[in-house]
Amino acid sequence: MRRMGLRLGLTVLIAIVMLPLMALAEDPMTERFEPGAETRWRFFTDQVMGGVSTGGVEILSQDGEGFARMTGSVSTANNGGFIQMRLDLPDGAADSAEGVRLVVRGNSQRYFVHLRTRGTRLPWQYYQAGFDVGPDWAEIRLPFEAFERSGGFLPRVPRADRLTSLGVVAYGRDHSARIDVAEVGFY
């Protein structure tokens, strides 16, 4: 009996030590742009609606670490104004997610994350939050409450479990885009 109590105590001790460490473990949905990432991401521009922006995305590696580089020329001519790399999220995100986490660098410009949900049925519906990049890698955290909806018929805050896609977007003004993305996930 004493031996069983010792085992139970040891099990409880291990659980007490491991649970906080497990909570700190990285989100399993984090994209790190490892081989095959190019099959998960789609690139498109405002040309789908008559715009004239151009660009592309490529998966690169530096010091053994993968990342995506999106480059292009964003033009507001012809009612356009965006280039985007998008990841489909068929399973949404964990209910416990509080926001989007990225590790990025770029050309000292402002970029955006666009979220689509099961409720964003029309092409022009999304949730948007902006962030600035510099030449060095930096972690960006965007809480769901910081995302602005594109129209009044959408719920005010996107729900993690209803997400269908996440896009990294150069948007809204004439400029040259260059953003590197090493990680995308949720926190």
Among residues 99, 68, 100, the alpha carbon closest in space to that of 83 is found at 68
* pLDDT value of residue 91: 94
* pLDDT value of residue 2: 54
Residue spans per domain, the chain: 29-186
pTM of the model: 0.84
In the numeric block, the tokens 């999220």 are attached to 89
- The two structure tokens encoding residue 87: 């990841």
In the chain (187 residues long), the average pLDDT of successive 10-residue segments reads 49 40 52 95 96 98 97 96 98 97 99 98 96 99 98 95 98 98 98
Q: What is the DSSP string of the chain?
A: -HHHHHHHHHHHHHHHHHHHHHHHSPPTT-B---TTGGGTEEEEEGGGGT---EEEEEEEEETTEEEEEEEEEE--GGG--EEEEEEE-TT---TT--EEEEEEEESS-EEEEEEEETT--STT--EEEEEE--SS-EEEEEEGGGPEESSTTS-SS--GGGEEEEEEEEESSSEEEEEEEEEEEE-
* pLDDT value of residue 29: 79
Q: What does the angle CA 42 – CA 145 – CA 107 come to, to the nearest 5 degrees? A: 50
Could you tell me the CATH superfamily of domain 29-186?
Galactose-binding lectin (2.60.120.430)
- Asked if 140 contacts 104 with a C-beta cutoff of 8 angstroms, the reply is yes
- Asked if 40 contacts 89 with a C-beta cutoff of 8 angstroms, the reply is no
